[in-house]
Amino acid sequence: MSIFDKCFAYKRVEEAQARGIYPYFTPVEEVYGNKVKVDGKEMIMVGSNNYLGLLDHPKVMEAAHKAIDQYGVATCGSRFLNGTLDIHVELEEKLAAFMNKEAALTMSTGFQTNQGVISSLITENDVVIKDRMDHASIIDACRLSKGKGVWFKHNDVGHLEQVLSDLDPEVGKLVIVDGVFSMEGDLADLPGIVELKKKYGFQLLVDDAHGIGVMGDNGRGTAEHFGLEDDVDLIVGTFSKSFASLGGFVVGDPKVISYIKHHARALIFSASITPASVATVLATVEIMEQEPERRHRLWDITRRMKSGFEAMGYDTGPTQTPIIPVMIGDDMKTFMLWRALRDAGIFTNPVIYPAVPHGETLIRTSYSASHTEEELNTVLQSFEECGKKLGII
């Protein structure tokens, strides 16, 4: 028996490649605006999380270049030792102010941020309670923690209360939800959860990777959208969406942030965010504050595309955000539609189990404030032609 037996027996990738329906790890050769080049062919990108269209903003690119000139391309060390630059500290101060919280801490990826925060805070005597559809980074972080992990049905506040009522009231409890759920685009029921927080006295962490920059009057995310910023104890964000960079952060009470800073293994034992990535985020925060019209444009596009898909007969699920899923429900039909769209020059993301439950497969589309009217018209036209050709609509 070899640990590699499972590897040699795994045939799904080869089978999908042979049929021309393998959609993952696609090499992108060039990026220009909302267009990408794949296998020498130009495609319209509606599979990116570049919500505010800042990926190639001149100010952002200039900031990244200047940071490389000043600091080089890497820190070659962890924040704990030699890897803290003055711009790391500047960014944390700016993020805390932007998010309307007292303190912030950055980490090298969004995935690591959840790992570091959750595994450091949850100890043997604590309970962590998560939504069944929370992001994989949250699920893995809960496994790493030493506390007891339980879950509640997706966005089911009634089931969450049942879970809470069965727990020892003296036990430390952390409830974790995505602010915006990344596949279907629906929002956490924060008002309902906050009501339970007042009753049961738990702490609340919102992973708002897809909400920050998009939701709320100032782009501070789902908590601002609902007017509940003071009721959310910790907010986790990522730089790989609206901030057009790489890394993650958490904001909250200064004492809590300091504790995480000195106990999170994902921070202490990882190299810090590169200078160019930090400078990029500093520039994008400034643009978010100075150009709210980007967010307004994004929401105009969101409403247009959602109504366009629904008018064709597509089911867009429970989305309330610029993440617009096209619900298919069958693996093979999902891959066939993805392939037809790719041939038509549209880059989308097919999503199957385990990213979504069995029988709930979908084509995930997401939009940018910089998408043009011509690009949007082409996307809708292609979805209509491909969907009719395959008998999906």
Active site residues: 182, 210, 241
Exposure pattern of 20-52 as b/e (b: 16+ CB <10 Å)? Answer: ebbbeeeeeeeeebbebebeeeebbbbbbbbbb
What is the helix (H) or strand (E) element at residue 31, kind and residue range? Answer: strand 30-32
Interior angle at CA 322, CA 348 and CA 128, nearest 5 = 100
Distance of alpha carbon 9 from alpha carbon 6, whole angstroms: 5
Contacts of 138 (CB under 8 A, 6+ apart): 114, 118, 130, 176, 178, 207
What is the helix (H) or strand (E) element at residue 92, kind and residue range? Answer: helix 86-98
Q: What is the DSSP string of 55-85?
A: TT-HHHHHHHHHHHHHH-S---SBTTTT---
At residue 226, the 3 state secondary structure works out as helix
CA 233 to the chain's CA centroid: 19
Contact 83, 271 (CB under 8 A): yes
CA distances in angstroms from 186 to 230, 321, 326, listed in the order given: 22, 7, 13
Contact 343, 44 (CB under 8 A): no
Phi-psi region of 380 (alpha: psi -120 to 50; beta: other; left: phi over 0): alpha
CA 78 to the chain's CA centroid: 24
Distance of alpha carbon 274 from alpha carbon 79, whole angstroms: 11
Contact 208, 248 (CB under 8 A): no
How many other β-carbons are positioned within 10 Å of the β-carbon of residue 323? 24
Q: Which of 326, 331, 330, 329 is CA-nearest to residue 386?
A: 326
